[in-house]
Structure 1
Amino acid sequence: MVFSKRVLIVDDDSGLRELLGEQFVVNDAFTVDAAATGAAALGLATASHFDAIILDAGLPDIDGCQVLRQLRQARVRCPIVLLIEEGEDSEAQAEAGLAAGASACVAKPFRLGALLARVNAELRQHERSEDAAVAIGPYTFHAGLKTLVNDATGVRIRLTDKEAAILSYLYRAGDRVISRSLLLENVWGYNAHVTTHTLETHIYRLRRKIEPIPGEANLLITEAGGYRLVL
């Protein structure tokens, strides 16, 4: 099952936000949130998980590159496509954007299809990189192999498909809390037969496998709004 990707569009032009939103949701591959300012974007992107962000460089309150730096400092790992103005300064803008953490820069005006293709390409590249081994606490996590390897002992822990998917999603979220409903949506999809009890059961079994101290939640933490990983 293929789930919708969640995209945040940040631009002070309401017409462009609406047009981009319509383009992204037309084939049900994306769900869209929008923000008109850098401050709003920072609030949304650091409080929740997005699969991609489209960010205008010329926001009314905070320079787009500064927003980029703050997002990367807050461990927002998803692809961020920076929209820059075509002109004499476009090359300098692109260099500044890439230095601040942009995954790609696209100059305005652009063709909607070209921007959608760029976002999809960045998502595919990001997903391939996420399949690489990453560090989670005392383990090396191989998402594609659905295994954790204890770095000190070499012991290999096998994970189920759902356990690996939960870890992958929480890892991509950095240190942000992910709600139960968002985990259910992205790991199981929209399914009336799946409840939060199912998720809690999987979390319980996953903790029994990965927590260094049995009975203590030091890696996979329960918060008031959901769950987060301590990386």
Structure 2
Amino acid sequence: MTKVLVVDDEPALVRTLSINLRARDYEVTHAFDGRTALQCIAEDAPDVVVLDLGLPDIDGVDVIRRIRRTSELPIIVLSARHDSDDKVEALDEGADDYVTKPFGMDELLARVRAAVRRRTVSTPHADPVRTAHFALDFPERIALRDGAPMRLTPTEWHLLETLAIQPGRLVSQAELLREVWGPGYEKDTHYLRVYVAGLRRKLEPDPAVPRYLLTDPGQGYRFNV
């Protein structure tokens, strides 16, 4: 049974989410603050985290940052913050998805299903990539930058591998979104902008003048190796 950790300081919302998730055969645990959430992740090993950003003790973005130090656990951010900078920051720190309050329960449940599917789906692996600046071993999930280990999130790996399977080929925005995030995400192009920018910071010798992750404006992306 898939275990979902719901992290929010609104008891009524936690109760509503728990009822709806359990009705669909998810196992649900909950935490009302960031410290308890981090403890639950360490002790209970959930499969997915639904995380509010506005927690009473630790800011949700900092919770994401701490999770990503040790875990590739899928994180769906749930927040009343409508500012695009907050969304970008959460995704940039390693969140996999972002739902803004108020939200429809069907939408959130669809995002949870997509997060579980992304974690369990098996896709063909790209060949290892070695350049003058980095090396990527997709089957082993090993990344090196100038010989030093580098951490990539599951979403970053999936995005890179989707591009690296056919090096140099233009992959459309819709195709990338559908492959990495799933059906229904084809118009969420801001995800690509955030994740590609983050990967450029990690991989490119000069992120402002990329030589490996290339953009065809309005069309899609290429992985040039």
TM-score by length of 1: 0.53
User: What does 1:7-22 align with in structure 2 at a 5 Å threshold?
Assistant: 7-22=4-19
Aligned to 2:36: 40
What is the CA-CA distance between 1:86 and the residue it aligns to?
4.8
Aligned to 1:31: 27
User: Does residue 63 of the first structure (1) align with residue 59 of the second (2)?
Assistant: yes
Q: In 2, distance between residues paired with 1:69 and 1:131?
A: 29
Aligned to 2:179: none
Instruction: Please state whether the residue corresponding to 2:98 is helix, strand or coil.
Output: strand
Residue 115 (structure 1) aligned to one of 108, 115, 118: 108
1:83 aligned partner, one-letter code: L
Unaligned runs of 5+ in 2: 126-138, 143-225
Q: Sort the Cα spacing of 1:113 and 1:84 in 2 relative to 1 into closer, same or farther, 3 A.
A: same
State how many pairs are aligned: 129
User: What does 1:149-168 align with in structure 2 at a 5 Å threshold?
Assistant: none
What is the CA-CA distance between 1:129 and the residue it aligns to?
5.8
Q: Percent identity?
A: 36
Instruction: Please state whether the residue corresponding to 2:121 is helix, strand or coil.
Output: helix
What is the CA-CA distance between 1:60 and the residue it aligns to?
0.6
**1:109-129: CA deviations, max 9, x gaps?**
000111000110121112126
Q: Sort the Cα spacing of 1:59 and 1:128 in 2 relative to 1 into closer, same or farther, 3 A.
A: same
Residue 5 (structure 1) aligned to one of 2, 6, 10: 2
RMSD: 1.8
**1:182-228: CA deviations, max 9, x gaps?**
xxxxxxxxxxxxxxxxxxxxxxxxxxxxxxxxxxxxxxxxxxxxxxx
Unaligned runs of 5+ in 1: 137-231
> Greater CA radius of gyration, 1 or 2?
1
Aligned to 1:106: 99
User: What does 1:1-231 align with in structure 2 at a 5 Å threshold?
Assistant: 4-28=1-25, 30-74=26-70, 76-87=71-82, 89=83, 91-128=84-121, 133-134=139-140
Moved over 3 A (4+): 129-132
Aligned to 2:136: none
Aligned to 2:218: none
1:134 aligned partner, one-letter code: E
Q: In 2, distance between residues paired with 1:9 and 1:39?
A: 13
Q: In 2, distance between residues paired with 1:135 and 1:57?
A: 29
Q: In 1, distance between residues paired with 2:24 and 2:112?
A: 15
**1:25-61: CA deviations, max 9, x gaps?**
1032x10000000000011102231110000000010
Q: Sort the Cα spacing of 1:103 and 1:135 in 2 relative to 1 into closer, same or farther, 3 A.
A: closer
**1:4-29: CA deviations, max 9, x gaps?**
1000000000000000000001032x
What is the CA-CA distance between 1:131 and the residue it aligns to?
8.0
Aligned to 1:166: none
